[in-house]
Chain A
Amino acid sequence: MSTDRGIAAPPSGASARLVDRGDWRRFVAPAVVVVAAGGILLAGGLTTAAFLTVDNFLIIVRAASITGIVALGMTFVTISGNFFSLSVEQTAALSSIAFAESFAHGWGLLAALGCSFCAALVTGAVQGGMVAAGLNPIVTTLGVGAALYGLAAVVTNNEVVNFDTTPAVTWIGTGRPLGIPTQSWAFAIFTLLATLVLLRTRFGRETYLVGANRNAARASGISITRTTILAFTLASLAAGIAGVFTAAQITQAPLTQFSGLNIDVIAAVLVGGTALQGGEGSALRSALGAVFIALLANFMLLRDFTYGERTLVTGLIVVVATSAFHLLRTRGTR
């Protein structure tokens, strides 16, 4: 099925099958994630005293928020049938540097936000344009990521950019309205927004159709180019937002601050069960995936797992989850 197209071909859905909305299988992936998260909560509560505390939950929620916000953006790329982007961590770093540099130059908050979001929008639109022209999304974003990293290092002389914070920036970075971190508010709001966009807007429905069946989408007059560019722009914008939040939180922009974000975000989207061949998935699933990955990471951290052990477990879960979801999907249509 999907292998018939080779890696370069934009997947046009599992043999032109459109998503059957009444299919019970589409509830399996989210249900598995919820059950697994419940299992971790149970295991954590029974074995680790520090796990089921309010403080620890705030830590988990904040950790999930940054990954989650970017995963929401990546969901558009994945649903539109373009697998995933390997440049979101570099985009986030570039945006945080743009934010910090603006402040270091004495510009105001609005100019700083404008600069960082512009940087993200441009990189996203360019990548979307290249992929829409027929280039492989993974290899394109791999190259763009390396170039962006080099560019950011050249601009900053590979040094950490520090800036003097203002009350507004402090609030963005560390504020806690109603006791919940601003990042988590943003994560919740963006989950809602992304869900609404995917289900209730024309662009959202076009994204599903382009991912499910590229040719049918083209035949019905949908612009594949526009949908692809918008999807990559949203992913980049989400990375930019993550970059701004992080820069505001730590009042500096180290180049390597986001290293590992690409992998975390892809893991969140894959574990959430958004179909990698496109056309199927939801913002809520990616959000759930991000929370699951954060829960798991936090649990393993409290159980004194090393970095290597945590990465190994996460990787194995990604392999098993994607294989299982893939089998679930293809068995139903064979």
Chain B
Amino acid sequence: MEEKICESCGMPMRKKEEFGGGRFDNRYCVHCTDEEGNLKPFKVKLEEMKNFIASRMDLSEEKALQMAKENMSKMPAWKNYF
């Protein structure tokens, strides 16, 4: 099966459980959606992305926030927020 990329965070989605709501036709991954597979609000996602980056890289909150914003500004799901 062709690999898909989450349009919110860029994560590759291969297995069913990696797709939002466990549906192969979802454009967003399980981390970017709620239990029903709907895209989470921008503010929630920005906070999650910041925490994700900070925890993996041991970065300050400010730096992680800057990187999270930069990443999200390139994603189709959030292009209207920048």
Do A and B assemble together?
no
Which residues of A are interface residues toward B (Cβ below 8 A)? none
Which residues of B are interface residues toward A (Cβ below 8 A)? none
